[in-house]
Each structure stands twice: as C-alpha cells, then as structure tokens.
A = this chain, B = another copy of it.
Amino acid sequence: MDPIEVHFFEEIEPQECILIEGLPGVGQVGKLVAEHLIHELGAEKIAEIHSIYFPPQVLLDGDGTTRLVCNEIFRYAGDRPILFLVGDYQSASGEGHYLLASAYLDIAEELGVRRIYTLGGYGVGHLIDEPRVLGAVNRPHLREEVEAAGAVFTRDEPGGGIVGASGLLLGLGGFRDIEGICLMGETSGYLVDPISAHSLMTVLCKLTGITVDTTTLQERAGEMEHLVEKLRQMEEAKNDEELNYIG
C-alpha cells in the first residue's frame, strides 16, 4: 500500500474549475455546507483517497457493509464545474496533514482548479445567536470580494492561525499559483452547528454564484435554534435556583 492512494472512478478532462473543501472540523461546519451542496447540486463522486495517515478503521453503512475510512472528490459538471473534497477524517498525524494536502493539490492541478474554497468552523467556546463568517485568503487582492460577500476580517481572529487541510490548502496552494479563500463559521465548538453552516453557505453562494435550495439546512438550523434555546433556559433556570438557594 502506498502512503496515499487515489482511485479515480472515471477519466476527467481538466477544465478550469473551483474546489470546495469541507472536511470534518470544529462544529462540522465545513462538512455540513459541502455535503449540502453535493446533495443539492447532485455532484458525483469521481475519486476516493485512502491513506495510512487516516485512522486505521472501517465504518459501517446502515446495512452492515464496511467502508474503509477515506476522503472523496465529488464533481458537479455544470457550465462551470465544481469539485468538492469531503471525507470521514483528516490526517491523524502532522506529517500526514502536509502529505495529504500536497496530494489534494496534485489532484487539483490535474483537474484545472484555479481557486480553492476551504470551509471550517471557528470555535469561540460559547453559544452564538448570529454567527459571523470569518475570512482568510492566500493573496491580498482576494480580500475585497470576500468582504463584499459578507465575511469579516479581524486583526486577531483566529488567533492561532488555521490548522489542518483548510489552512494547508491555502498555504501550499499559494506556491502552485492556486488562489485560496478560507471561510470559517463562528460556532461554540461543542455541537454540530447547522446555524453556523447556514451563515457560511450564504457567504459562499454569493462568492461563487452557486444557487441551491437551503431548505433542509435551514430546517436543521431551526431545530438547532430550538435546542440552543432550551439549553439557555435550562441554564438560566439553574442559575435562578442557585440564587434562591443562596438568597
């Protein structure tokens, strides 16, 4: 087994296109958005990536069939094709992160990718009503259009930089003259967060011109808002009780 193995299911002619990465991460924000787009656009899986850098594990489909942990490339074959990078896990080691990101960029170059959007969550440690979408770019001239689409750039956020595929695709992509934009939805970091995903989707659609039905994502966000509201009430009730007890 090679350290990283890429299996294409069909031959794809290179064509100028964009790549949207939504691998697992904080609040699964990027994953929710990318998977929603794949589903709504009817994008097709064109490749699977297996690697010794992923956890040594198979997952089970609902019917008890095993599936080796992998990352996947989907392709939406519209006038302006869109590639998606999604998957079960990111690398289990720091070195693997670099080698996998390089492999993804090899694929991107082969297929004609000129710009990469990487999607993630930005964990702030508390519940948020109206999550902002933070932006980062690998070329200064990209900032303007990202702001115009509704993302914000602040001097100190995210303080620790961007870790994993979302960061490396921008950093390493820059050396290959691939433009890179990272969008990070603010999220508590405790829960899978469709509210943040919905905010992020809005910015991404403005930036890319993608138009999709967001009903299912909005529904999930609605359910989540109910849940968050309940969590808040429980917390307040608990605080009141404690006050009574003291008072």
Contact = CB atoms under 8 A, between A and B. Distances in A.
Interface of A: 1, 3, 51-60, 62-69, 91-95, 97-99, 101-102, 135-140, 143, 153, 155, 158, 160-164, 167-168, 170-172, 174, 180, 182
Contacts of A174: 66, 68
A140 B67 CA distance: 11
A171 B68 contact: yes
Given A1-B102, A135-B64, A94 B55 contact: yes
16 contacts: A52-B98, A56-B101, A56-B163, A56-B164, A56-B168, A57-B162, A57-B167, A58-B168, A60-B162, A62-B155, A63-B153, A64-B137, A65-B137, A65-B140, A68-B172, A68-B174
A9 B45 CA distance: 40
A69 B63 CA distance: 37
Contact of A58 (B68, B135, B162): B162
Contacts of A99: 1, 52
* Interface of chain A: mostly helix, strand, loop or mixed: mixed
A57 B163 contact: yes
A56 B98 contact: yes
Contact of A98 (B1, B59, B164): B1
